[in-house]
Amino acid sequence: MTAMRYETRFCTHCATPLAPITLLEDSGEKERLRCAACGWTHWNNPAPVLAAIVEVDGRVLLARNALWPPKMFALITGFMEAGESPEEGITREVKEETNLDALSVTLVGAYEFIRMNQVIIAYHVRAEGEVRLSPELVDHRFYELDKLKCWPAGTGYALADWLRTRGHEPVFFTAEENAERRRGLD
């Protein structure tokens, strides 16, 4: 998934520039970006992002996005498409990004990603097949469960929660290790 954000500045219905307008909502008076011409409100709700802990023959696949620093490996992620269930969406993303076929899809949990205005829905995906990465991924590694290290962000907490269900107390990167891992990204 390519991290890309757009700022909404115009009404998506009539193209009038949006302005901060206060209206009475269920929770009280609330200022939001709204359209003075047609009344459209930019709710700015978080977008759901699907994430997969992909397990093949007892090992977990982590992959590196082409835009990421060399030491950064993480879960397979992607946005839902209109008209699909989350389970269908993560099955599709795993196929598109790794060529692996899902054998089972099990919910791990939902996690905040406030910085990106997203909510992460994480799944454990048992999969099979031959790995062929999509162009947006440049590398992948398979990890034994006791070799996995978690990172202090939504998908890392999902991985930690899942490891606990498999009897492994998760180990997190230290602050220095995480800074090294993210070097070049911030």
Scan residues 37-96 and list those touching Zn ion (CB under 5 A). Answer: 37-38, 40
Assess 16 for contact with Zn ion (CB under 5 A): yes
Count interface residues toward Zn ion (CB under 5 A): 8
Kindly state the smallest distance separating residue 45's Cβ from Zn ion, in Å.
Answer: 18
In angstroms, the Cα distances linking 100 to 29, 68, 74, 87, 104 are 49, 22, 16, 15, 12
From the list 3-11, 57-65, 123-131, 142-150, the region that binds Zn ion by CB under 5 A is 3-11
Assess 99 for contact with Zn ion (CB under 5 A): no
From the list 9-17, 60-68, 93-101, 102-110, the region that binds Zn ion by CB under 5 A is 9-17
Assess 10 for contact with Zn ion (CB under 5 A): no
Phi, psi of 116 (to 5 degrees): -100, 5
Using DSSP's 3-state secondary structure scheme, residue 89 falls into: helix
Kindly state the smallest distance separating residue 15's Cβ from Zn ion, in Å.
Answer: 7
Kindly state the smallest distance separating residue 137's Cβ from Zn ion, in Å.
Answer: 39
Q: Which helix (H) or strand (E) holds 61?
A: strand 59-65
Q: Give the one residue of 18, 33, 35, 90 binding Zn ion; rule: CB under 5 A.
A: 35
Assess 36 for contact with Zn ion (CB under 5 A): no
Assess 171 for contact with Zn ion (CB under 5 A): no
Using DSSP bridges, classify how beta strands 118-128 and 47-56 pair: parallel, antiparallel or unpaired.
Answer: parallel
Terminal C-alpha separation, the chain = 17
Phi, psi of 24 (to 5 degrees): -80, 120
H helical segments located in 63-141: 86-98
**Residues of the shown chain interacting with Zn ion in the complex, contacts defined by CB under 5 A:** 11, 13-14, 16, 35, 37-38, 40
